[in-house]
Amino acid sequence: MTATDPRRVVEAVWRIESARIVAGLARIVRDVGLAEEIAQDTLVIALEQWPQTGVPDHPGSWLMATAKHRAIDALRRQSRYQHKLEEIGRSTPGTEDPDLAAALDDYVGDDLLRLIFTTCHPVLSTESRVALSLRLLGGLTTDEIARAYLVSEPTVGRRITRAKRTLADMKVAIELPPPAEAAERLASVLEVIYLIFNEGYSATAGDDWIRPSLCEEALRLGRILATLAPAEPEVHGLVALMELQASRTAARTDPDGAPILLQDQDRRRWDRLLIRRGLDALARAEGTFGPYVLQASIAACHARATRPEDTDWKRIAAIYELLAHVSPSPVVDLNRAVAVGNAHGPARGLEIVDGLTLPGYALVPAVRGDLLAKLGRNAEARQEFQRAAAMTHNTRQRTLFEARAAALQ
C-alpha cells in the first residue's frame, strides 16, 4: 500500500476504524442499522474525496469526525420530523447538538463493548450473529463474508438485514447487559468469535483446508474483547486458545495447500511470538476452569512440546476428562478419545469412540480409522477412512482421508 493509492488507504483505514465508528454512532442514534448506514455514507465520502484532496494526516480522526457530523444531521432531521408530527416545541433549544458531539467523542471502548454484546445477542440466530459481527466488527463486506462461508452474497445480505430488523423489532438496547444476563451474553459473544476462528482454522467446505483471514479477524475481535473485559478469565482463555492454535498455521499445509497433520508438522515453523502471547493470555486466566481456559491448557501442552514424542498426552487426557465434566459434548468426547488413545493405548480410545453418536460428522470415522490402524486392523480402518471421505464437504480433507485409506491397502 502506498500514499499514492488513496482507495487502498481508505480500505485499510476503514478495516481498522469501522468498528469504532459504528460503535460510537450506534450509542447515539440507538439503532444498529442507522449507525451502519451513516458509517457507510462516511466511507463513500472518503472514497470520493480522498482521491481528489489527498489522504488526511489523521485519516481515522477524519472518518470519525465526518461520521459525527452526519449523525448529528440525521438526528436533527429526525427531531424536526418529530416536532412537526407531534407539534411539540423544545423546552431547551440548542442544547442537544453540543451534547451529541461530546458523547461521540467519549472513550470508545465502552461503545465497542456494547456493540459486541449487541451483534451477538441471543435473540439472533447463530448464522446472523456471525454475519452481523463480521460486517460491523470485522469490517468485512457482504461479498467477503459470503466467500468466507461459501454461501451466496444475497444469503449473507438477508442474514444481516434480518439481524438488524430483529434487533430493532425486539427493541434490543445497545448497552451492556445487566448482571443477571451478563454470563449468558458473554458466552454468546465468545461462541461467535470462536465459531469465526474455527471456520478459518478448519474450513467445513470448499477447496481450502484453512482460511487465515477468518482466523485473523477472530483473533482481532478476541484481543479487543480482552482489553475491554480484562477481568473475565474466559475471554483470556479464548484469546490464549486462538493464539496457540494460530501459531501452527504456517506448518499446517504444504506448498500446494494440502493439509499436514499435527504429528507430521515441522514445529520449527510454529510462530513463537503467537505461542508466547498465548501462554501469557493463559497465565492471566490461571486458577480458573472454564471451557476455553481448559481448551487453551490443552493447546499449551502441544505448544510446549518441541517434538511430537514430547507431548504430555496423559496430562492432555486428564484435562479432557475435566473438560467433559465442565462442558460435556460429543465433540469433546471425540477429542478425549484421541488423547486417551495416545496416552493409554488405542483400544481405550476406541471404547470412547464406539460410545459416541455424532451423525454426519466426518471426524468420527476418521478418528476411529486412525485408532483401528494403530491396532493393526487395517481392513476396518480403511473402511472408516472411506466413510470419512464420503461424509466431508471439504475437498482437502476428502483427499487426506482417501490417501489414508489408500495407504492401508
Question: What span, in angstroms and rounded, lies between the C-alpha atoms of 405 and 70?
Answer: 61
Average pLDDT of the residues in 235-262: 95
pLDDT score, position 269: 97
Average pLDDT of the residues in 374-393: 96
Determine how many CB atoms are found less than 10 A away from the CB of residue 160: 20
pLDDT score, position 400: 95
- The answer to whether residues 68 and 45 touch, using CB atoms and an 8 Å cutoff, is no
- The answer to whether residues 317 and 344 touch, using CB atoms and an 8 Å cutoff, is yes
- The answer to whether residues 393 and 409 touch, using CB atoms and an 8 Å cutoff, is no
Average pLDDT of the residues in 164-183: 85
pLDDT score, position 94: 42
Identify which has the larger pLDDT, 48 or 104: 48
Question: What span, in angstroms and rounded, lies between the C-alpha atoms of 352 and 331?
Answer: 11
Question: What span, in angstroms and rounded, lies between the C-alpha atoms of 54 and 62?
Answer: 12
Determine how many CB atoms are found less than 10 A away from the CB of residue 209: 21
Average pLDDT of the residues in 289-308: 97
Any long-range contacts for 139-145 (C-beta under 8 Å, 24+ apart)? 139/14, 139/15, 139/16, 139/18, 139/19, 140/217
Phi and psi (nearest 5°) for 123?
-70, -15
Average pLDDT of the residues in 205-228: 86
Band of the pLDDT at 264, cuts 50, 70, 90? very high
- The answer to whether residues 196 and 135 touch, using CB atoms and an 8 Å cutoff, is no
pLDDT score, position 303: 97
All domains in the chain, ordered by first residue: 336-409 (1.25.40.10)
